[in-house]
């Protein structure tokens, strides 16, 4: 409602400016009516012409105006662009390829958020506490997503954008708010939303087909953190272990040993690590386990690496990267099996040869007697 009133006020100010200008022209005419030689009809014509020009200028300003949208992370920006199209300007705070958990706001970030029409966040970002309370626009955050019916497991915020079906619900909520801010774009926003919904339907079908044809569906993986649990679920992977189960919760040596045993006993194909944590705790522990067990590591980004990537492009890239690592893990498994098979064959052959030699030796000894 506050945003609607803000837009209404902006339009009223323009109208008041027009009326004030018209009033000044009319007052000037009345004040100088006795000294002006201009015909009254000409003055009226001049007044009407000026009014039309001012109205057209106001209409052009309304048409050129774009809704200012600010998001915390690139995936939310990508979804907002899908819905808003050419009627919005979208800016995201956390640069592509950066870790939202470690991002610190800059002064111009604060000003952008304060003055935007729509501010979209996950609602769990640590830096949200540094933002001012006097944000002029509408805010969409965690409570709004929960109310919209997104699917979340164990309060994991990464489900918001890494579970594709949730992206549709995010887009629907953004569409709803944009029509409040910009009522004239309702049909445009709704049409864009339907197009995005169709893209997500195709994306979910593509993931199912890709994982089934490549044979990775049902494969076992270990996650360095819970970031990619939603996407692993969509891919049909079995998560048999998570190294770090929360912010700052470093596993003990005993817990690391348990994960290593699980990897050996469960024939795990890959360890999935957040790329921005490659030199952090997740990457360090995963590298140690990989060295001990031989299981490959895949480093993937939780948010877009490039700001130009669309939502579907980012998800497809991440899915194919994880699948490629699983393929590498399966190759490792085949190699180990082949080694074991070779050793077994060698052992059996040696036993047979020794048995034959014993028989021959016994036969020779018997004949010698």
99-155: per-residue pLDDT in tens? 898 899 999 999 999 999 999 999 999 999 999 888 889 999 999 999 999 999 999
Task: State the pLDDT at residue 25.
Answer: 41
DSSP state string for 202-252: HHHHHHHHHHHHHT-TT-EEEEEEGGGHHHHHHHT-EEEEEEE-STT-PPP
CA distance 239 to 220: 6
Nearest alpha carbon to residue 127 among 99, 162, 89, 156: 99
Residue 359's pLDDT is 56
The predicted pLDDT at position 354 comes to: 41
Residue 304: per-residue pLDDT: 83
The rounded distance, in Å, linking the Cα atoms of 153 and 314 is: 22
- List the structure tokens of 222: 């270990």
pLDDT in tens, the chain (369 residues): 444 455 555 545 444 444 444 444 444 444 444 444 445 544 444 444 444 444 444 433 445 789 999 999 999 999 999 999 999 999 999 998 888 988 999 999 999 999 999 999 999 999 999 998 888 899 999 999 999 999 999 999 999 999 999 999 999 999 999 999 999 999 999 999 999 999 999 999 999 999 999 999 999 999 999 999 999 999 999 999 999 987 778 999 999 999 999 999 999 999 999 999 999 999 999 999 999 999 999 999 999 877 788 999 999 999 999 999 998 877 665 443 322 222 233 233 333 434 444 454 444 444 544
Strand order in the sheet with 118-120: 88-92, 67-71, 118-120, 138-140
Q: Which pLDDT value is given to residue 64? A: 72
Task: Provide the sign of the torsion angle of the four alpha carbons 274, 152, 211, 215, taken in this order.
Answer: positive
CB 110 within 8 Å of CB 155: no
Determine contact, residues 166/180, Cβ cutoff 8 Å.
no
Residue 254's pLDDT is 94
Confidence at residue 101, expressed as pLDDT on a 0 to 100 scale: 85
Alpha carbons 347 and 328: distance in angstroms, whole number? 29
Collapsing DSSP states into helix, strand and coil, what is residue 89? strand
- In terms of Cα–Cα distance, which of 188, 147, 191, 153 is closest to 170? 147
CA distance 249 to 343: 42
In this prediction, residue 332 carries a pLDDT of 60
- List beta partners, residue 138: 118
Task: Say what the pTM is.
Answer: 0.76
DSSP string, 135-200: --SEEE-HHHHHHTT---STT-TTHHHHSHHHHHHHHHHHHHHHHHH-GGGHHHHHHHHHHHHHHH
Instruction: Measure the CA–CA gap between 10 and 356, rounded to whole angstroms.
Output: 101
**pLDDT, tens digit (0-9, with 9 covering 90-100), for 287-324:** 999 999 999 999 999 998 777 889 999 999 999 999 99
- The answer to whether 126 and 101 are in contact (CB under 8 A) is yes
Q: What is the dihedral of CA 170, 173, 175, 176, to 10 degrees?
A: 180
Domains of the chain, start order: 2-64 (no CATH), 68-209 (3.40.50.1980), 215-332 (3.40.50.1980)
């Amino acid at each position: 409602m506050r945003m609607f009133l803000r837009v209404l006020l902006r339009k009223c100010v323009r109208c008041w400016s027009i009326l004030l200008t018209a009033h000044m022209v009319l007052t000037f005419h009345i004040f100088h009516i006795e000294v002006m030689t201009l015909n009254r009809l000409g003055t009226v014509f001049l007044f009407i012409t000026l009014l039309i020009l001012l109205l057209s200028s106001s209409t052009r300003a309304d048409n050129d105006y774009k809704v200012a949208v600010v998001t915390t992370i690139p995936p939310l920006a990508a979804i907002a662009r899908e819905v808003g199209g050419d009627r919005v300007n979208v800016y995201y705070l956390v640069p592509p390829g950066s870790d939202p958990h470690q991002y610190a706001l800059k002064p111009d970030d604060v000003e952008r958020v304060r003055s935007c029409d729509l501010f979209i966040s996950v609602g769990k970002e640590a830096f949200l506490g540094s933002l001012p309370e006097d944000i002029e626009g509408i805010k969409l955050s965690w409570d709004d997503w929960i109310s919209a019916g997104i699917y979340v497991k164990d309060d994991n915020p990464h489900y918001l954008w890494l579970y594709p079906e949730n992206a549709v619900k995010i887009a629907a909520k953004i569409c709803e708010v944009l029509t409040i801010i910009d009522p004239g774009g309702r049909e445009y926003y709704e049409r864009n939303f339907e197009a995005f919904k169709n893209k997500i339907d195709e994306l979910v079908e593509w993931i199912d087909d890709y994982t089934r044809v490549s044979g990775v569906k049902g494969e076992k993986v270990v996650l360095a953190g819970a970031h990619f649990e939603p996407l692993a679920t969509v891919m049909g992977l079995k998560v048999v272990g998570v190294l770090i189960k929360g912010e700052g919760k470093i596993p003990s040596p005993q817990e690391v040993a348990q994960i290593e045993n699980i990897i050996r006993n469960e024939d795990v194909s890959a360890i999935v690590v957040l790329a921005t944590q490659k030199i952090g705790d997740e990457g360090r522990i995963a590298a140690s386990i990989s060295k001990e067990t031989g299981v490959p590591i895949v480093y993937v980004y939780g948010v877009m690496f490039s700001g130009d990537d669309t939502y579907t492009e980012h998800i497809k890239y991440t899915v194919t990267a994880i699948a490629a690592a699983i393929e590498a893990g399966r190759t490792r498994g085949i190699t180990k099996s082949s080694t074991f098979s070779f050793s077994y064959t060698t052992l059996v052959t040696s036993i047979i040869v020794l048995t034959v030699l014993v028989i021959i030796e016994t036969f020779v000894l018997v004949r010698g007697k």
